[in-house]
Structure 1
Amino acid sequence: MNTTSLSLLDRLSRGSDQAAWSRFVDLYTPLLLAWCKRLGLSDADSADLMQTVFVTLCEKLPAFRYDPAHSFRAWLKTVLLNSWRNQARKQRSGTPGAAAALDPDQLPDTDPRLQLDEAEYRSHLVRRALAMIQEQFEPTTARACWEFVVEERPAQEVADELGISVNSVYLAKSRVLRHLRQELRWLL
């Protein structure tokens, strides 16, 4: 079973754990891309910015220490905005008369366009959770949990359909939900 997100940050702080970096990129790319869309960036500009952000994170995360009193999400957004501002300054200095649709230096971090409301953030987490279930569990286990928990079908009906025991349906629910709680606990 994969480690929790807090231990993921700890693994990232050591710098060379490729599996941890892959996991981090997988978890946070959709969130970072949502912020890029809110900034009005094209797909190409978003991809460039994402590369810059991940390079910055490679440099900064070894010194980062998570403080439960502060938001990791806010820190991550600050890294993205600072990277965007730096890129925009470089583009302006290299192209006389170039103007961005949004002036990064005039856009405060608290601009409403950059705010993901809690429902949107939770929606992002639900999509990630569904992807994790499909990636990390056998199809029968994932489907048993989905049908029983989300679709609210009776355990016996799910068991009969999947050709497994009722106990296996309950075990699938327990394993998948325990894993999701561990993976997503600090993100919530």
Structure 2
Amino acid sequence: MHTLIRRACNPQDEGAWRDFVEQYRRFILYILQEMNVATDEIEDLSQQILVTLTRDLPGYDRSKGRFRSWLSAVIRHAALSHLSKQRYRKKRMADYIEDREVDWLNGRDASEITQMIEDEWAGYIGKLAMDRVRPAFRGNAMEAYELFLDGHSAAEIASITKLTVSSVYTLRKRVKRRLYLEIRAITAELEPPAAG
């Protein structure tokens, strides 16, 4: 099975490109928000990044690294370029405003930004997996699992959900296993492995 990225490289496969945009657009928007890009500029910048991806995706080489690393470089470059242009325009208009966005990015090295993107990616994949797994469980299974994630003990969860402690552990194990499989499936779908 072709991964979504390989399929999206084919200009004739419009459905794959729509799927690619649907999966990555929200992530790109979130990262730009975390990079302190102005709210009214995020949508336009995300569109520019998607245009860059349309142009450059067929040239992505798995042997040179993971897709996430390549994607983070594209996002980082676009954000720095955009914010630098914004700073230049502000100076030209003699309307100097404290430019915390560029200062924030310039105060960090590429590895720090890449690590932030890696961490956000993991959270993004986890949220997608939770959204996909939730409908598969009835009753208190997801509530019990989410209470575990919030740090509650099995006894507390049993009291809240009116389940036995044994049932709480069993449900947690089932949900955790299903989430693990879903995370692997989503990762295989959204990101090809690096060539080794």
TM bucket (normalised to shorter chain) is: 0.5 to 0.7
Contact 2:45–2:79 (CA<8 Å) still a contact in 1?
Answer: yes
Q: Identify unmatched segments of 5+ residues in structure 2.
A: 146-164
TM, length-normalised to structure 1: 0.63
Taking a change above 3 Å as real, the CA distance of residues 126 and 71 of structure 1, as seen in their structure-2 partners, is same
CA distance in 1 between counterparts of 2:139 and 2:14 reads 30
Q: In the alignment, is the contact (CA less than 8 A) between 1:35 and 1:114 conserved in 2? A: no
Q: CA distance change for structure 1 residues 11 and 117 in 2, over 3 Å: closer, same or farther?
A: closer
Q: Is the 8 A contact 2:4 2:16 kept in 1?
A: yes
Cα distance between partner residues in 2 of 1:145 and 1:28: 32
Q: Which has the higher contact order (CA 8 A, sep 6+)?
A: 2
The yes-or-no answer on 1:59 pairing with 2:62 is no
Separation (CA, whole Å) in 2 of partners of 1:74 and 1:111: 10
Alignment of 1:38-49 (within 5 A): 38-49=34-45
Runs of 4+ in 1 over 4 A off after TM superposition: 92-95, 117-120, 172-180
Cα distance change, pair 52–145 in 1 and its aligned pair in 2 (3 A): farther
Which ranges in structure 1 are unaligned for 5 or more consecutive residues?
159-169
Q: Which string of whole-angstrom CA distances, capped at 9 and with x for unpartnered residues, describes residues 138-182 of structure 1?
A: x4xx2259938x74985xx99xxxxxxxxxxx9x99988655533
- Matches of 1:122 and 1:50, distance apart in 2: 20
Q: CA-atom RMSD, angstroms?
A: 4.0
Q: Which residue is 1:143 aligned to?
A: 137
Distance of aligned partners of 1:73 and 1:98 in 2 relative to their CA distance in 1, 3 Å threshold: farther
CA 1:63/1:117 → structure 2, altered by over 3 Å: closer, same or farther?
closer
SS at match of 2:62: coil
Tell me the percent identity: 22
Partner of 1:121 in structure 2? 121
More helix by share: 2
Shift in Å, 1:21: 1.9
- Conserved 8 A contact 1:92-1:98: no
Letter in 2 for 1:83: A
Residue 182 (structure 1) aligns with: 185
**2:73 corresponds to which residue?**
78
Select the residue among 19, 26, 29 that pairs with 2:22. 26
User: In structure 2, how many angstroms separate the alpha carbons of the residues matched to 1:17 and 1:60?
Assistant: 16
**TM-score, with normalisation over the residues of structure 2?**
0.61
Kept after mapping to 2: 8 A contact 1:27/1:128: no
- 1:22 shift after superposition: 2.4
Matched residue SS, 1:103: helix
